[in-house]
Structure 1
Amino acid sequence: MNEGYVKVNDVNLHYVTEGEGELMLFLHGFPYFWYNWHHQMEEFSKDYRVVAVDMRGYNVSDKPEGISSYDMSILVEDVKQLIEVFGEKECILVAHDWGGAVAWTLAYTAPEYVKKLIMFDAPHPYTFRRELEENPGQREASRYMGYFQRADSHEALLENNAERLRKMMTIPGKKKGYLSEEDEEKYIEAWMQPDAMKSMLNYYRAISFYPFEEHVQKPLELPYQMFESPTLIIWGDADPAFENSNLDGLEDYIRDLTIHRMEGVSHAPHHEKPHVVNQYMRNFLEKKN
């Protein structure tokens, strides 16, 4: 794979790319980086120009100072300019977790950039707001956001060779057999990049719906209520961060919707079951509309 840097929205973002053809752009979540997509990149570089980016604040991309540098409007502008800098007006957008939150917002503010959308365990903005307001289980599952917003949380997460993050992500992955020791070392190296963890957590510090009691009653205002482009959601139904009820009622907001629920799979299906996920993706992408 080839790698490089592009200047977008006043930051230098690191990316990895392979293949030729239509642009397929991958956006990772917390606490991942571009490598989170390597199984999908290997598969889809056969047919597409795949690009996986280290989002601002992550790994070796720029890490601008200040919480306001991670406002959602800025993150969305990063993605718009990424699509343009690779010479396209639209792309197949593939996203997970925080990358998914950015991708959803792009879809409901500038849908012309998204030809097709593929989402992994990233709750829809309308249903997530609903679940935070109405579902005590979702509020409890999201309490970790309060910890992440603490001023010292980045230091605590890096203690003892990032022990808390390893317990959260890489140790379970190694026990299940889908992550190797080498994979774990790659993640630890990315987390330990200077100022990376602080910048990664600034995504949480910049959000406007926590504490929930103060914010969820405010209506969500996005320019569009309905997203028209074909959308695939692949969802691990054993995800501790998101209640499965986030999927209820999505047809009210997405015109052309396909959902695959993966039983017993946790927060990152594309990591945990890459071959199954890749087949779901290929079936979706080859579907004649």
Structure 2
Amino acid sequence: MYTALPPRAQQAVANFLPSESLVEERYKHFASVQPRNPDSDGDTEILNDVTFTHRFVRVPADHETVTFHYVETGTGEPIVFLHGIPDSWFQWYHQMAALAKTHRCIAVDLKGYGQSEKQAGDYTHEGAADQLFTMLAKIGVASTGFNLVSHDRGTLQADYIAAKYPDNVLRYGRGEQHLYNFNPALAPQGDIFMDSPWTGLMEDPKRFVLWVYTWIAKRKIPDGDMTRVIQEYSYPKVVRAVPRYFNSSTFRKEWLDRRNRLLKAWKCPVLILQGHESRTQPREFYEKSREYIPNAMDVQVKYMPGGHFWTLECPEETTEAVNQLLAM
């Protein structure tokens, strides 16, 4: 049975999708943004005074191999960061720069996103998660154990990794995704994104990024960060690859798989991270998270200031939350 909407969520659903006039205003503001040149293996860039290195690795999977792009910085116990839609590794650069002195920080472009693989293949979240874990094993992270931190659609793949490879995940910071409770009124994007190759919603990646951020962000994000978010979603074929996820599963199937199979398989400490003003996942749904994850060593919940995109809306508070996870 679907979870009834709390009163606050009912009000949010009444005017759920973003104002087209506001999206158009934002679109004009970022009209000058141009696509970014792709990176090569070993390329570096400096962000927040910290050097980041771009890496590409090929692993056995669909079409014999799948190429993953990831970015890393720092040394020490690994933290693997997984992004959501319409994002990329860049979503986590503030936290990576802040934690680089003590940890090896690795942020991956999920399959279909950014500069990772975009060919047809297995776009079920479980299948893509298995391929991602193969990549982590190849770069020497899986054998040592790693902390896993995720956001939005990246959390779907992280859920499978935490459940299927519990001996390899040290701690799990699970961000901005339905957990045990779900109501389809909060997830119209499932059907919308599934149809996007035909409706043209993603045809203009700049407009799509601004549409999503206008919809569910609460705090202003600096123009420089928004420019890079747009550029990362504008690499060739991203807008054709990403909808494959939504044609390979549904929010209902994901929800049932969590309840019936995944939640009980998580063993490591889990920190649930949700935006305090998240429109698509009301904070009331997470108050009993300890009950929903019965076999984890510890379960804590932290509500982040702002809305859905808290890694960029409140970067310092997000870094503090990751440190809270690392102390569990």
- Fold conserved between structures, TM > 0.5: yes
> Which segment is superposed worse, 187-196 or 98-107?
187-196
State the shift of 1:50 in Å.
0.7
Runs of 4+ in 1 over 3 A off after TM superposition: 170-173, 215-221
Q: Give the match for residue 235 of structure 1.
A: 274
Amino acid of the structure 1 residue aligned with 2:123: Y
Count of residues paired in the alignment: 268
| Residues 1:83 and 2:136 are matched in the alignment | yes
State the shift of 1:33 in Å.
0.3
State the shift of 1:185 in Å.
2.5
- The 3-state SS of whatever aligns with 1:233 is strand
2:211 to 167, 178, 181: 167
Q: Give the match for residue 45 of structure 2.
A: none
| Residues 1:271 and 2:316 are matched in the alignment | no
Checking the alignment, whether the CA contact within 8 Å between 2:172 and 2:325 is kept in structure 1 is no
Amino acid of the structure 2 residue aligned with 1:84: A
C-alpha change, 1:216 and 1:106, in structure 2 (3 Å) is: closer
Q: Give the match for residue 286 of structure 1.
A: 327
Q: Give the match for residue 4 of structure 2.
A: none
C-alpha change, 1:256 and 1:219, in structure 2 (3 Å) is: closer
Checking the alignment, whether the CA contact within 8 Å between 1:71 and 1:206 is kept in structure 2 is yes
| Residues 1:3 and 2:3 are matched in the alignment | no
Checking the alignment, whether the CA contact within 8 Å between 1:154 and 1:198 is kept in structure 2 is no
Q: Distance in 1 between matches of 2:176 and 2:256?
A: 24
Q: Give the match for residue 159 of structure 2.
A: 104
Q: Distance in 2 between matches of 1:219 and 1:234?
A: 17
C-alpha change, 1:71 and 1:65, in structure 2 (3 Å) is: same
C-alpha change, 1:154 and 1:108, in structure 2 (3 Å) is: farther
Amino acid of the structure 2 residue aligned with 1:64: Q
Q: Distance in 2 between matches of 1:200 and 1:98?
A: 11
Checking the alignment, whether the CA contact within 8 Å between 1:120 and 1:235 is kept in structure 2 is yes
Q: Distance in 2 between matches of 1:223 and 1:208?
A: 16
Q: Give the match for residue 135 of structure 1.
A: none
Root-mean-square deviation over aligned CA pairs: 2.6
| Residues 1:179 and 2:222 are matched in the alignment | yes
Q: Deviations over 1:178-236 (max 9, x none)?
A: 331x32222222222221012112112211445x8xx9778954266152211112210
C-alpha change, 1:95 and 1:156, in structure 2 (3 Å) is: same
TM-score where L is the length of structure 2: 0.74
Amino acid of the structure 1 residue aligned with 2:102: D
Q: Distance in 1 between matches of 2:299 and 2:87?
A: 26
C-alpha change, 1:218 and 1:13, in structure 2 (3 Å) is: closer
1:157 to 195, 202, 207: 202
Q: Which of the pair is proportionally richer in helix? A: 1
Amino acid of the structure 2 residue aligned with 1:187: V
Unpaired segments ≥5 residues, structure 2: 1-51
Q: Distance in 1 between matches of 2:114 and 2:301?
A: 31
- The 3-state SS of whatever aligns with 1:119 is strand
State the shift of 1:84 in Å.
0.9
Q: Give the match for residue 299 of structure 2.
A: 257
Q: Distance in 2 between matches of 1:139 and 1:208?
A: 10
Q: Give the match for residue 45 of structure 1.
A: 100
Q: Distance in 1 between matches of 2:54 and 2:257?
A: 42
Checking the alignment, whether the CA contact within 8 Å between 1:121 and 1:234 is kept in structure 2 is yes
Identity %: 22
Q: Distance in 2 between matches of 1:172 and 1:108?
A: 29
State the shift of 1:276 in Å.
1.4
C-alpha change, 1:53 and 1:150, in structure 2 (3 Å) is: same
C-alpha change, 1:267 and 1:110, in structure 2 (3 Å) is: same
Amino acid of the structure 1 residue aligned with 2:228: K
Q: Give the match for residue 198 of structure 1.
A: 240
Q: Distance in 2 between matches of 1:202 and 1:256?
A: 35
Unpaired segments ≥5 residues, structure 1: 133-137
Q: Distance in 1 between matches of 2:195 and 2:245?
A: 12
Amino acid of the structure 1 residue aligned with 2:206: A
Q: Distance in 1 between matches of 2:220 and 2:251?
A: 36
Q: Distance in 1 between matches of 2:258 and 2:312?
A: 34
Checking the alignment, whether the CA contact within 8 Å between 2:68 and 2:108 is kept in structure 1 is yes
C-alpha change, 1:216 and 1:114, in structure 2 (3 Å) is: closer
Q: Give the match for residue 145 of structure 1.
A: 190
